[in-house]
Amino acid sequence: MKEESDSPSVPYNFSRCFNDQCPQALKCLRYIAAQNETADYLYISIVNPARYPADGNQCECFKTAVKVHVAWGLKQLLNRIPYEDAVSIRIQLVGHYGKTGYYRFYRGERGLMPKDQAYIRQLFRNKGIKEEPTYQRYTEEYIW
Protein backbone atom coordinates (compact mmCIF):
# COMPACT_ATOMS: atom_id res chain seq x y z
CA MET A 1 0.00 0.00 0.00
CA LYS A 2 1.53 3.24 -1.18
CA GLU A 3 0.35 6.67 -0.13
CA GLU A 4 1.28 10.12 -1.28
CA SER A 5 0.56 13.19 0.80
CA ASP A 6 -1.50 15.95 -0.82
CA SER A 7 0.86 18.73 0.17
CA PRO A 8 4.40 18.38 1.39
CA SER A 9 4.98 18.97 5.09
CA VAL A 10 7.65 21.67 4.93
CA PRO A 11 9.80 22.02 8.05
CA TYR A 12 9.55 25.41 9.74
CA ASN A 13 13.24 26.30 9.30
CA PHE A 14 13.44 25.27 5.63
CA SER A 15 14.05 28.34 3.43
CA ARG A 16 11.56 28.89 0.63
CA CYS A 17 12.24 30.58 -2.72
CA PHE A 18 9.74 32.78 -4.56
CA ASN A 19 11.81 33.36 -7.73
CA ASP A 20 9.29 32.71 -10.53
CA GLN A 21 11.83 33.59 -13.25
CA CYS A 22 14.35 30.92 -12.25
CA PRO A 23 14.84 28.33 -15.04
CA GLN A 24 15.34 25.63 -12.38
CA ALA A 25 12.25 26.57 -10.32
CA LEU A 26 10.16 23.50 -11.15
CA LYS A 27 13.04 21.20 -10.11
CA CYS A 28 13.89 23.16 -6.94
CA LEU A 29 12.59 21.97 -3.59
CA ARG A 30 12.74 25.50 -2.17
CA TYR A 31 10.44 26.81 -4.94
CA ILE A 32 8.04 23.87 -4.53
CA ALA A 33 7.93 24.54 -0.78
CA ALA A 34 7.06 28.19 -1.43
CA GLN A 35 4.23 27.24 -3.81
CA ASN A 36 2.72 24.84 -1.28
CA GLU A 37 2.99 27.24 1.67
CA THR A 38 0.07 27.31 4.08
CA ALA A 39 -0.92 29.79 6.77
CA ASP A 40 0.37 27.46 9.51
CA TYR A 41 3.30 29.75 10.34
CA LEU A 42 3.19 33.50 10.94
CA TYR A 43 6.84 33.83 9.87
CA ILE A 44 8.82 31.77 7.36
CA SER A 45 12.42 31.78 6.13
CA ILE A 46 12.97 32.76 2.49
CA VAL A 47 15.93 33.03 0.13
CA ASN A 48 17.11 36.64 -0.07
CA PRO A 49 15.84 38.02 -3.43
CA ALA A 50 18.98 40.21 -3.70
CA ARG A 51 21.01 36.97 -3.93
CA TYR A 52 19.11 35.51 -6.90
CA PRO A 53 21.72 34.77 -9.61
CA ALA A 54 21.43 36.81 -12.80
CA ASP A 55 21.38 33.76 -15.10
CA GLY A 56 19.54 31.49 -12.65
CA ASN A 57 21.68 28.48 -13.48
CA GLN A 58 24.22 28.64 -10.66
CA CYS A 59 21.96 29.32 -7.69
CA GLU A 60 23.79 28.57 -4.44
CA CYS A 61 20.47 27.74 -2.74
CA PHE A 62 19.21 25.23 -5.32
CA LYS A 63 18.07 21.96 -3.75
CA THR A 64 16.94 19.15 -6.03
CA ALA A 65 13.35 18.03 -5.51
CA VAL A 66 13.66 14.27 -5.21
CA LYS A 67 11.17 11.99 -3.48
CA VAL A 68 12.22 8.83 -1.67
CA HIS A 69 10.27 5.70 -0.74
CA VAL A 70 9.62 5.86 3.03
CA ALA A 71 8.30 2.91 5.06
CA TRP A 72 6.20 3.39 8.21
CA GLY A 73 5.49 1.06 11.13
CA LEU A 74 7.29 -2.05 12.39
CA LYS A 75 4.37 -3.75 14.17
CA GLN A 76 4.05 -6.56 11.59
CA LEU A 77 7.74 -6.73 10.66
CA LEU A 78 8.77 -9.70 12.80
CA ASN A 79 5.50 -11.70 12.79
CA ARG A 80 6.32 -14.06 9.90
CA ILE A 81 9.85 -15.07 10.88
CA PRO A 82 11.05 -17.63 13.47
CA TYR A 83 10.73 -16.42 17.07
CA GLU A 84 14.45 -16.69 17.89
CA ASP A 85 15.37 -14.65 14.81
CA ALA A 86 12.68 -12.07 15.61
CA VAL A 87 14.01 -11.58 19.15
CA SER A 88 17.58 -11.24 17.88
CA ILE A 89 16.62 -8.74 15.16
CA ARG A 90 14.58 -6.68 17.63
CA ILE A 91 17.55 -6.53 20.02
CA GLN A 92 19.81 -5.41 17.15
CA LEU A 93 17.31 -2.74 16.09
CA VAL A 94 17.08 -1.39 19.66
CA GLY A 95 20.89 -1.43 19.87
CA HIS A 96 21.21 0.46 16.58
CA TYR A 97 18.41 3.05 16.97
CA GLY A 98 18.06 3.16 20.76
CA LYS A 99 14.89 2.24 22.60
CA THR A 100 13.13 5.54 21.86
CA GLY A 101 14.14 5.50 18.19
CA TYR A 102 13.02 1.89 17.76
CA TYR A 103 9.61 2.54 19.28
CA ARG A 104 9.10 5.66 17.16
CA PHE A 105 9.65 3.49 14.08
CA TYR A 106 7.53 0.72 15.61
CA ARG A 107 4.53 2.98 16.20
CA GLY A 108 4.91 4.70 12.83
CA GLU A 109 5.75 8.10 14.35
CA ARG A 110 8.93 8.27 12.30
CA GLY A 111 9.50 6.97 8.78
CA LEU A 112 12.21 4.55 7.74
CA MET A 113 14.37 6.12 5.05
CA PRO A 114 15.87 3.89 2.31
CA LYS A 115 19.13 3.47 4.28
CA ASP A 116 17.13 2.28 7.33
CA GLN A 117 15.17 -0.15 5.17
CA ALA A 118 18.45 -1.46 3.73
CA TYR A 119 19.81 -1.96 7.27
CA ILE A 120 16.74 -4.00 8.27
CA ARG A 121 16.92 -5.98 5.02
CA GLN A 122 20.57 -6.78 5.83
CA LEU A 123 19.60 -7.98 9.33
CA PHE A 124 17.11 -10.35 7.67
CA ARG A 125 19.78 -11.61 5.24
CA ASN A 126 22.28 -12.14 8.08
CA LYS A 127 19.73 -14.47 9.71
CA GLY A 128 19.21 -16.31 6.41
CA ILE A 129 15.72 -14.90 5.88
CA LYS A 130 15.04 -14.50 2.16
CA GLU A 131 11.68 -12.79 2.63
CA GLU A 132 11.56 -9.01 2.17
CA PRO A 133 10.71 -6.99 5.29
CA THR A 134 7.15 -5.63 5.17
CA TYR A 135 5.94 -2.46 6.83
CA GLN A 136 2.51 -1.07 7.67
CA ARG A 137 2.46 1.57 4.94
CA TYR A 138 4.64 3.36 2.40
CA THR A 139 4.81 6.97 1.22
CA GLU A 140 6.85 9.04 -1.20
CA GLU A 141 8.46 11.95 0.67
CA TYR A 142 10.78 14.84 -0.10
CA ILE A 143 14.14 14.96 1.67
CA TRP A 144 14.22 18.38 3.29
- pLDDT tens, N- to C-terminus, the chain (144 residues): 555 544 567 888 999 999 999 999 999 999 999 998 888 888 999 999 998 988 767 899 999 999 999 999 999 999 999 999 999 999 999 999 999 999 999 999 999 999 999 999 999 999 999 999 999 999 999 988
Alpha helices, DSSP H, located in the chain: 29-35, 83-106, 114-126
Q: Identity (one letter) of the amino acid at 96? A: H
Domain boundaries, the chain: 1-65, 67-142
Its pTM stands at 0.78
SS (H, E, C) 34-72: HHCCCCCCCCCCECCHHHCCCCCCCCCCCCECCEEEEEE
pLDDT (0 to 100) of residue 144:
85
